[in-house]
Structure 1
Amino acid sequence: MVQGTTSDAGKSTLVAGLCRYFAKQGVNVAPFKPQNMALNSAVTSDGGEIGRAQALQAIACGLAAHTDFNPILLKPSSDTRSQVIVQGKALSHMDGQTYFGKDSQGYRTKAMAAVLDSLSRLKAQYELVMVEGAGSPAEINLREGDIANMGFAEAVDCPVILIADIDKGGVFAHIVGTLMLLSPSEQARIKGVVINRFRGDISLLQSGLDWLENKIDKPVLGVLPYLNDLHLDAEDALMVAPIKTEQPKFKVLVLVWPRISNHTDFDPLRLHDDIEFTYQTVTAPFDGKQPQADLIILPGSKSVRQDLTTMLSNGWDRLINTHLRYGGKVIGICGGYQMLGLAIDDPTGVEGQVGESDGLGLLPLVTRLTPTKQLTQVVGELSLVGETVPIKGYEIHCGQTKCLTTQAAPISLRPDERRLGVHDGFLSTDNQILGTYLHGLFDQPQAAQLLLKWAGMKEVEAIDLDAQRMTQLDRLADMLAQHMDMNKLADILTEKTS
């Protein structure tokens, strides 16, 4: 198990790299995260939902994503409530008191049973299970009934590696302080530490490493260098800094809601050498200055009506309307697609408060939110500007959207391997607005090229995201092989922990 001294210490990346390293060594390895909290998720081969990081780690192992890789997923719908997804299926929304409460350790006692059930199946199928913790094991207010870090490790007798980020400073305090807040048995369970994101001359760090090993009586298994331009699917963090190019051929602007979901949809655009890519938050009032863009994208949302209210109350609909008036193109994906319509109705309080909200009124659509979530991996064809190309992706939404006209949809999905027949999305009569429920819209080069051509980009050369992802995972695995003591790691994997 890999645990971190803090959030964003590098747990997901280290697990992904180790999964790739062991898979390349011929080991039958699988990823596992008992409990994840994230708004970036993926649809699995068995029709469920897991955190995006575990889907990436599955790719590193050469496996299709499966719900057992992340049995508990919490998707925040507000600052105090989350949708609880157990073994791929959404059960309910809960507040923190219910989930983490002290009465019988809250809901986590039931969640632990699902965690152990999934782990049991994985241990029967794989030689090695690489486990990722969540946040920090030293959050003393969350220790009772813990299923994400040491509570899990103690329950299944699992050795732990602790990773800490040196780039932010205070790495020795993070490591020593974390150990001080653990019980003696938990301290003994940690078999070594890894220092992440180091820049500079390693010899200048050596005295600190010697002191640390003497202080904690545990080996430093590796000092990992800061990897520039390492592009892997993010678990949840959003890189909001604009990506500039010297002579951009195209400009893309993605609006950022407070509860934006699955922003990994835009990695192929964000990493494109010819695209100037910008994330624009909508939580502050629109000042009337028109950010330059050829294409504006409305992304997915975990709380569509609330995020729509935030956007409208701050005047960002003026940006969209002005952009369209000057001939710009707009794409809405999932929640963003719903926002483009006439109304969004939530009659049972799926996202919180019961009620109906007016949409942007740009497409003749109405949406009703339903408790049953649509979770589907799909393939099909995309037809735009007189061309048709293959497309694939996934749907993950609670809404049912009805088109009030007979306008043809741009995407024809294949519900099975025999026929096309389910249509998705809507293309406005003026050819300026496209909406779809399909995530992963830009992941396939042919589909990305056609979408960008429709949006007005000339001489499009799309990124093959799948190939780039594997290149980055191999690069990560090779770096770990060079900078970690794999012999000591092998000893840890075969050592009995208690």
Structure 2
Amino acid sequence: MTDPKSNRALMIQGTGSNVGKSMLVAGLCRAAVRRGLRVAPFKPQNMSNNAAVTEDGGEIGRAQALQARACGVAPHTDMNPVLLKPETDMGSQVVVQGQRLTTVRARDYKALKPRLMTHVLESFHRLKASHDLVIVEGAGSPAEVNLRAGDIANMGFARAADVPVILTGDIDRGGVIAQIVGTQAVIDPEDAAMVAGFMVNKFRGDPSLFDDGYALIERHTGWRGFGVLPWFDGAHRLPAEDAQDLGAARGTGGFHIAVLTLSRIANFDDLDPLSAEAGCRVTMVRAGQAVPGDADLVIIPGSKSTRGDLAFLRDQGWDVDLAAHMRRGGRVLGICGGYQMLGTAVHDPDGIEGPAGSTPGLGLLEVETVMTPAKALRQVRAVHVPTGQPMRGYEIHIGRTDGPDCARPFARVDGRDEGAMRADGRVAGSYLHGMFSDDSFRSAYLSGMGAPKSDLQFEAGVDAVLDDLATHVATHLDVPGLLSVAR
């Protein structure tokens, strides 16, 4: 006999982008796990250049990896079957069930959707069959009715999979009554029938001050309210999914790290452990700003468009700033796309990331990169060569990098050399993401450059924030009520 609490699902949709859906799902996942349920997160379609490598050898959005962590399970490609990774203003790479399918222009993506819905439903039903509860995150807003035809991310999925929806509004941006009531007004009545209720997120101050507004939403929509969630102060300690959430400066320590905020910055949660270090100050250098003259270390992070971001970097004058930084005795680290930029040239003969051709690199490392169709996707254990420290990380890149400076590897991975360093050790590049989450390596790496030694336990801190988030959610939302409407 089937357990009545098993094989259910609930979907959290938002009245707009960045209303806090990802955080809410993570908190609900951890809260449901505390109630003894086997829980999995799911997002039919995500758009993000912040990706995680899964144990089954694919990639998903970092938000779903964090939600999996909240569930106490390993990330799996079924948790985010369609991932769109913007490469230009007009087109994105399409990743399906963890593997790159194609690159399409925005106007051509609609024709792919019927094919993609098949994969979305396959992944969802596999997760649902093996878990008590699947908590689904929508994308953007169902109020974008101009995108409703062929939708796989919001109401199109909810109706195809018969998953009840909870609509979430963001009171911090203002107009939350209109957000929720207006969504009901513009969506199709059959879509509106999928909505089991609403929540209000990001309230600052005394929530009781919104009692009248809350009641007004209930009267106008006929939907059940599941609570008002106050602002969660720990949100900044969880990985951000949107590059727009990156702060200009983080931390107040004496060791100054400057990070170039590239136009197609990718996997920027690499920086989170550095920002959490008490002895460090991390400055996100924005377009039009100069690299700070007192920076000890400049990091060129990952990019979804290496050659495009090389042009962007030069347009900001950062190549000149980097030259001055080197003259002052500074250090530079390039990660993934940033590593490729540090070389003498980046070649893309097949036009994998854009128009075919070659672009001169920054010339700070004697290496060259050739873009290749095959993508490296793997979790790795490595040893940092200069310090001898073991570390964990992951690779998620296209391209092959070779040259004289590869004879001085940054790390050793499974017996092979990885990355490159200049002879004086002041410039290094590596394809390894996530390395700074490893406490022992991060401490040794930073202290080797003069930063104060640290006992920060970064990963344990993330888990503590997820616990706090689950308590926050359970305190202010009707979690039993939410679970009761799942089916």
1:226 maps to 2:220: no
Is residue 117 from structure 1 mapped to residue 131 from structure 2 by the alignment? Answer: no
**Secondary structure at the counterpart of residue 195 of structure 1:** strand
Matched ranges for 1:321-340 at <5 A: 321-340=323-342
Cα-to-partner distance string for 1:100-132 (whole Å, 9 max, x where unaligned): 2xxxxx100000011011112112211111100
Residue in 2 that maps onto 1:92: 102
Residue of 84, 87, 104 corresponding to 1:74: 84
Alignment partner, residue 412 of structure 2: 412
1:345–1:94 distance in 2 versus 1, CA, 3 Å: same
1: CA distance, partners of 2:300 / 2:455: 21
Counterpart among 65, 68, 72 of residue 75 in structure 2: 65
Match of 1:491 in 2: 484
Q: Using the alignment, how far apart are the partners of 1:73 and 1:462 within structure 2?
A: 36
Counterpart of 1:280, as a letter, is V
| SS of alignment partner, residue 120 of structure 1 | helix
Is the 2:163–2:486 Cα contact (8 Å) retained in structure 1? no
- 1:257 aligned counterpart, secondary structure: coil
Amino acid at match of 1:298: I
| Structure 1 gap segments, 5+ residues each | 101-105, 415-420
Q: Which residue of 1 aligns with 2:37?
A: 27
- Alpha-carbon deviation of 1:381? 1.0
1:390-401 counterparts in 2 under 5 A?
390-401=390-401
Q: Which of 149, 157, 162 is residue 157 of structure 1 equivalent to?
A: 162
Cα separation, partners in 2 of 1:362 and 1:477, compared to 1, 3 Å = same
Q: Distance in 2 between matches of 1:433 and 1:239?
A: 28
The alignment yields a C-alpha RMSD, in angstroms, of 1.4
Counterpart in the other structure of 1:133: 138
Supply the distance in 1 between the matched residues of 2:199 and 2:294 (Cα, whole angstroms): 43
Q: Give the distance between the partners of 1:423 and 1:315, measured in 2 at CA.
A: 33
Describe the SS at the equivalent of 1:388. Answer: coil
CA contact (8 A) 1:199 1:225 kept: yes
Residues 410-466 of structure 1 deviation map (CA, whole Å, 9 limit, x = unaligned): 21112xxxxxx1111112111101110000121011110122123321x32053221
Structure 2: distance between partners of 1:148 and 1:211: 29
Query: Percent sequence identity over matched residues?
Result: 46
Alignment partner of 1:402 is 2:396: no
- TM-score w.r.t. the length of structure 1 is 0.93
**Which of residues 189, 212, 222 is equivalent to 1:217?**
222
Partner AA of 1:96 in structure 2: A
Supply the AA of the counterpart residue of 1:426: A
Q: Report the residue type matching 2:390 in the other structure.
A: P
Q: SS of the residue aligned with 1:229?
A: helix
Q: TM-score, normalised by structure 2?
A: 0.95
Query: 1:214 deviation in Å?
Result: 1.1
| Structure 1 Cα separation of the partners of residues 246 and 410 of structure 2 | 30
Query: What is the CA distance between 1:245 and its match in structure 2?
Result: 4.8
Deviation string 1:234-268 (CA, Å, 9 cap, x unpaired) is: 1223444333555x221110001110000000001
| Shift in alpha-carbon separation, 1:395–1:365, aligned structure 2, 3 A | same
C-alpha separation between the residues in 2 aligned to 1:462 and 1:60?
24
Judge conservation of contact 1:299–1:332 (CA < 8 Å) in 2: yes
The letter of the residue matching 1:297 is I
- Is 2:360 the partner of 1:358? yes
Structure 2 counterparts to residues 303-322 of structure 1, below 5 A: 303-322=305-324
Q: Which residue of 2 aligns with 1:475?
A: 468
Query: What is the aligned partner in structure 1 of residue 172 from structure 2?
Result: 167
1:125–1:363: structure 2 CA closer, same or farther, 3 Å change rule?
same
C-alpha distance in 1 between matches for 2:38 and 2:146: 37
Counterpart code for 1:86: V
Is the contact made by 1:240 and 1:278 (CA closer than 8 Å) also made in structure 2? no
Residues 70, 87 of structure 1: 8 Å contact kept:
yes
Indicate the residue corresponding to 1:374 in structure 2: 376
SS of the residue 1:73 aligns to:
strand
Give the deviation of 1:402 after TM superposition: 0.7
Counterpart code for 1:168:
R
Q: Compared with structure 1, are the counterparts of its residues 6 and 368 closer, same or farther at alpha carbon in structure 2 (3 Å cutoff)?
A: same
CA distance in 1, matches of 2:62, 2:336: 17
Equivalent position of 1:446 in the other structure: 440
- Between stretches 200-209 and 37-46, larger displacement belongs to 200-209
